[in-house]
Amino acid sequence: MMQPWKLTAAAAADAIAAGNLTSEALVRACLDRIAEREAAVQAWAWLDPDAAIAEARRRDAEAPRGPLHGVPVGIKDMIDTGDMPTEYNSPLYPGHRPARDAACVSILRSAGLVVLGKVATVEFASLGRTAPTRNPLDPGHTPGGSSSGSGAAVGAGMAPLALGTQTGGSVIRPASFCGVFGMKPSYGLIGTEGIKVYAQSLDTIGYMARSAEDLSRLSLVLGVVEEMPEPAALPALRIGVCRTPHRAEAAPETHDAIERAAGRLADAGAAIEAVADPPAFDGLTEAQDRIMHWEGRGAYRAEYLAQPAILHPAFRDEVENAKGRTIPQINEAYDRMAIARIEFATAFAGYDAWLTPAVIGEAPAGLESTGEALFNRMWTALHGPCITIPAHRGPNGLPVGVQIVSPRLSDAGLLAVAEAISPVLATR
């Protein structure tokens, strides 16, 4: 068997179930990997190795509870944990200890997973301070955000799984930048109880992993799907290529990633067709941005009133509506998103997935910015599932993912497509 920290979550769970590996050995291997890489990557906001080992021992003493029993997972520091601090990377919440686990964390523990620790986030998963986290493949580049630690921890081999959240592109972008698989499920399928919400009509819990099967298993655990999807038959797939209204903004490596992915899938027998953007896609990214910041006004109002001097200026501007967004603009944005969901579902009929860019290009240099969510915002607004697959590398040798999408509540079908096409596309 390869070193345990290198295993996919599915392979590790199977080895634990077969008695060929213990949860404790897997957790210790991950902790050793963290000790080796954390100084350079800085993916973690909180670790308690003794607690993680003790939890792993409890899992080893139990009968398997689910398809990922005994597998460690990192939890984004926007998601409450009753036995660890949740600080949101904010000076307003030093040492904050929630009373209980968030609902999604409780589900993971009930299914037998081991919470390894808290992974770093951009402040409040939105504006303000970036995380200190670095891209595990090149520390001079960003890992993406806001789920910075989630992508970096999985990309560095520190954990086979990590939870994140997405309001714009906070799961898909860091997964792409760090060369791992990522999924944003359909909006509303995973409860957000116990999460510091930014935009209530957009925020979605997502996750990062090392394989499409890992995403499927975690989707089953979290209730996104009711049974494990069977990989689709690749030659029977009909896949649309959607370059979006932002195609001109994509870097050459992103164009190359889409072209090569489409070519490989066609060579494998899939039917590949270019698709036109539905009319409501024009202005959809701008609509998402308006709604995100409008709803952010309410998200941080309590902090604004209680500690305005400590609150980052970006959040003060949010609450004060510094950009002067008007009620008619907001209503138009809500309506555009609703219309676009209908148009997308109509245009998608007959397809199994649409292939589309995940990012503008490879991870930018520096840590001042986590990159732009230009190729993510519209899909988040559409409320459907999105999956990114590590499929290409850019001019600096850094990963460039491709994204597959489908209309809301079609998660099982999209996972089946991801499992079918990832052996053809995936590269590290």
Active site residue 146: yes
CA distance 391 to 379: 20
Q: Taking the mean position of all CA atoms in its chain, how far away is CA 126?
A: 14
Q: Which two tokens mark 292? A: 């995100």
Q: Please answer whether residues 154 and 148 qualify as being in contact, where contact means their C-beta atoms are separated by less than 8 angstroms.
A: no
Active site residue 216: no
Burial of 132 (0-12, 13-18, 19+ CB in 10 A): middle
Active site residue 422: no
Catalytic annotation, pick one of 90, 150, 170, 216: 170
- CA-nearest of 162, 75, 153, 62 to 112 is 62
- CA-nearest of 56, 65, 64 to 26 is 56
Other beta carbons within 10 angstroms of residue 103's beta carbon come to 18
CA distance 395 to 183: 25
DSSP string, 327-395: HHHHHHHHHHHHHHHHHHHHHHTT-SEEEEESSSSSPPBSSS-----TTTHHHHHTT--EEEEEEEE-T
Q: Please answer whether residues 338 and 375 qualify as being in contact, where contact means their C-beta atoms are separated by less than 8 angstroms.
A: no
Q: Please answer whether residues 188 and 409 qualify as being in contact, where contact means their C-beta atoms are separated by less than 8 angstroms.
A: no
Residues in the chain: 428
Catalytic annotation, pick one of 23, 126, 146, 406: 146
In 3-state terms, what secondary structure has residue 117?
Answer: strand
Q: Please tell me what DSSP assigns to residue 166.
A: E
Catalytic annotation, pick one of 23, 76, 118, 219: 76
In 3-state terms, what secondary structure has residue 94?
Answer: coil
Q: Please answer whether residues 149 and 77 qualify as being in contact, where contact means their C-beta atoms are separated by less than 8 angstroms.
A: yes
Cis peptide before 146 (omega within 30 of 0): yes
Q: What are the catalytic residues?
A: 76, 146, 170
